[in-house]
Amino acid sequence: LLPTLSIVLRLILKLSGLSPWGADDVSILLAYVILIGFLPNADLSEKGGAGRDLWTLSPNQIDTFLLALYILEILYHTSIALTKASILFLFIRVFPGEKLRIVLWATQAFNLLTAIVFNLAAIFQCQPVHLAWTGWSRQEEGRCFSMPHVGCIHGILNIVMDVWMLVLPLTQVLRLNMKWRNKFTVISMFSLGIFPSLQAIFPRHSPTALVGYIPTRVWTDTELYVGIFTACLPCTRQFFCRFILRRIRKKEKTIPIHTLENALKASPSGLPHA
C-alpha cells in the first residue's frame, strides 16, 4: 500500500504539470513494476512450502520453492538498483555543483555495475542453470557457487551505498541559506531509506532455508517498500503541500523540490574542500 500510494501521488503531481518528468521518475516506475512481480512470486513460494520444514515437503514442492527463490533474487537486485538510480537521478537534477555531479554520475555507474554483476551471479549461480532449483537432489552433475556469500557481499555494499547516498546531499544541504528546521526536513527525507538495509547486519539463522524464509522475505519486502517510498517522498510532500495544506492555510511554509533547486543554484556548489 505504501509504495503504491507514493507512486500514485507522484503520477498525479507529474500529470498535473506541477513537476517535470525526469529519469528519476522512469527509474522508480520501473522499480515499482518489478515490485509488482513480488506478488506472484510470493504465491509461488507459498505453493513450494515456504515457512514449513523441509522434510514435510515433496520433491516437486522443493523445486518450486527454490525456483521462486531464484526468481526473487533477480527481482530484488533489479528493483533495489532502480530505486537507488532514481534517488541518484534526483540528486543529479537538484544539485548543480560540477564536482558533485561528477561524483553522483560515478556513483550511478557503480550502482549499475553492481546491479549487472549481482544479477549475472544470481542467474548463472549454477551450471547448468536449472540446478539452482533442482540441484538439491544431486541427480545431475554440475556445479554451483555459494549464494549466501554473494548475498552477504551485496548486503554490505548495500549499506555502504545507502550511507554514501545520505552523505552526498548532507554535504550540500547543510551549506544552504535555509532555516535549520527546513534543512532537517530535507535531510530526514533522504535518510529514511537507510534503516531497512541495516537489517543485513543482523543475520537470521534457522534449521532450514524454508523455515527462515518468511522473516527474511518480510525484511526484503520492507526494504523495497521503504526504498520506493523514500524515493517518492519529495514528490509526496509537494503533493500534500499543493493540494491539501494550501486549503488549510493560506501561506505555505514548505519546501517543494523546485524551491530546493533554486536555493541550491543560488548557493556555492560542489563538494566541500578539505
Q: Is residue 225 part of a domain?
A: yes
Q: Would residue 68 be called left, alpha or beta, if left means φ above 0 and alpha means ψ between -120 and 50 degrees?
A: alpha
Three cell numbers written together for 159: 549499506
- 175, β-bridge pairs: none
Q: Is residue 238 part of a domain?
A: yes
pTM: 0.79
Cα–Cα nearest to 252, from 262, 266, 238, 232: 238
Kindly report, residue by residue over 195-248, the tens digit of the pLDDT. 555 555 554 444 445 666 777 777 788 888 888 888 888 787 777 777 666 666
Q: Is the pLDDT of residue 258 over 60?
A: no
The number of domains in the chain is: 1
Three cell numbers written together for 233: 517522498
Q: Is the pLDDT of residue 251 over 60?
A: no
Q: What is the pLDDT of residue 113?
A: 96
Q: How does residue 2 score in pLDDT terms, banded at 50, 70 and 90?
A: confident
Kindly report, residue by residue over 139-187, the tens digit of the pLDDT. 878 888 877 788 888 888 988 888 888 888 787 777 766 677 767 777 7
Half-sphere exposure of 102 (CA within 13 A, CB side): 5
Q: Is residue 25 part of a domain?
A: yes
> From CA 116, how far away is CA 159, in angstroms rounded?
18
> From CA 252, how far away is CA 263, in angstroms rounded?
17
> From CA 88, how far away is CA 184, in angstroms rounded?
20
Angle between helices 23-36 and 213-240 (to 10 degrees): 140
Kindly report, residue by residue over 98-121, the tens digit of the pLDDT. 888 899 999 999 999 999 999 999
Q: Would residue 51 be called left, alpha or beta, if left means φ above 0 and alpha means ψ between -120 and 50 degrees?
A: left
Q: What is the pLDDT of residue 50?
A: 77
Q: What is the pLDDT of residue 263?
A: 56
Q: Is residue 270 part of a domain?
A: no
Q: What is the pLDDT of residue 26?
A: 92
- For 252, the domain range is 2-265
Work out the average pLDDT over 13-19: 79
Q: Is residue 35 part of a domain?
A: yes
Q: Is the pLDDT of residue 82 over 90?
A: yes
Angle at 86 between CA 229 and CA 203, to 5 degrees: 60
Q: Is residue 274 part of a domain?
A: no
Angle at 143 between CA 61 and CA 55, to 5 degrees: 25
**E strands along 103-182, which residues?**
126-127, 143-144
Weakest mean pLDDT among 69-78, 215-224, 260-269: 260-269
Q: What is the pLDDT of residue 114?
A: 94
Q: Is residue 271 part of a domain?
A: no
Q: Is residue 181 part of a domain?
A: yes
- 58, β-bridge pairs: none
Work out the average pLDDT over 124-150: 85
Cα–Cα nearest to 171, from 269, 31, 64: 269
The rounded percent of the chain whose pLDDT value lies above 90 is 19
Q: How does residue 32 score in pLDDT terms, banded at 50, 70 and 90?
A: very high
